[in-house]
Amino acid sequence: MALQIHTICRPISPAPALSIGPRLSRPTKHSKIAGEVQRPVSLVKTINSKQLRSSVTVRSSLETSGPAVVVGEVTEVDKDTFWPIVNAAGDKTVVLDMYTQWCGPCKIMAPKFQELAEKYLDVVFLKLDCNQENKSLAKELGIKVVPTFKILKHSKIVKEVTGAKFDNLVAAMEEVRSKDASVVKVPSLASAQDVQDQMRLLAYSQF
């Protein structure tokens, strides 16, 4: 007698999901790569901006359109730059300090000369080292002793002060500057009598 065995298969219900708190979202590969790309880009922008700021320079007029005429400080000149700067000064008064490195009185006058440059902003102050390289210019200007101060106007020497004579230098400068001021003519104001005469002429012209 054959036995028949019937197997009964019952569906197994899925196990309930365990709750372990809010699920954290993991960054995708795309967002991770994008984040890594953005950081180098922002760094490059920062570096470039710093490089641009440090490379911005202001070109002086000496580099663009001839020699620069500077006021408020003493400008060092040589045989090549002296006359171009003097000519570029135009109608400004130019004071030249002719000195040497070994001259003691020259060293005493140097800080005082700088103070004058900071005070007289309408005057161009120059200094020339009368060394071997500038010997030809020193000879041209007729230097005999150091220090020697040459005062120029319209590219011509008008005054000279020899030695460390600060008061004499200031007096010579003031004399040249006062001549410039005397040239300026201020129009005179009309007097009261002139105004009355003009009013009378205007009244007569209306008849």
Q: 81 in a domain, yes or no? A: yes
Residue 207 lies in a domain: no
Asked whether residue 58 carries a pLDDT value surpassing 90, the answer given is no
Kindly state whether residue 80 falls inside one of the protein's structural domains.
yes
Determine the pLDDT at residue 33: 41
Q: Note whether residue 142 is domain-resident.
A: yes
47-51, 59-63, 186-190, 201-205: which has the highest mean pLDDT?
A: 201-205
Nearest to 84 by CA among 95, 68, 72, 103: 68
Number of domains in the chain: 1
Active site residue 103: yes
pLDDT at 68: 87
Within-domain flag for 26: no
Own/partner long-range contacts of 168-172 (Cβ < 8 Å, ≥24 apart): 169/95, 169/116, 170/116
* Given 95, 98, 106, 126, the catalytic residue: 106
Catalytic annotation, pick one of 71, 103, 110, 157: 103
Residue 134 inside a domain? The answer is: yes
Q: Which residue has the higher pLDDT, 146 or 58?
A: 146
Q: Cα separation of 97 and 74, whole Å? A: 9
Q: Does the residue 27 lie in any domain?
A: no
Average pLDDT of every residue of the chain: 74
pLDDT interval class at 70 (50, 70, 90):
very high
- Work out the pLDDT band at 50, boundaries 50, 70, 90: very low
9 is catalytic: no
Looking up residue 122, the CATH number of its domain turns out to be: 3.40.30.10
> Which residue did the predictor score with more confidence, 72 or 17?
72
In a domain, 127, yes or no: yes
Q: By residue range, what is the domain housing residue 150? A: 67-179
**Beta-strand (E) ranges in 55-181?**
74-77, 93-99, 123-129, 148-153, 156-162
Indicate the residue type of 104: G
State how far the Cα of 124 lies from the Cα of 73, in Å rounded to an integer.
8
> What tens digit of pLDDT does each residue of 1-48 get?
454 545 555 555 555 555 545 554 454 444 444 444 444 444 334 434
- Residue given tokens 């699920």 in the structure block: 23
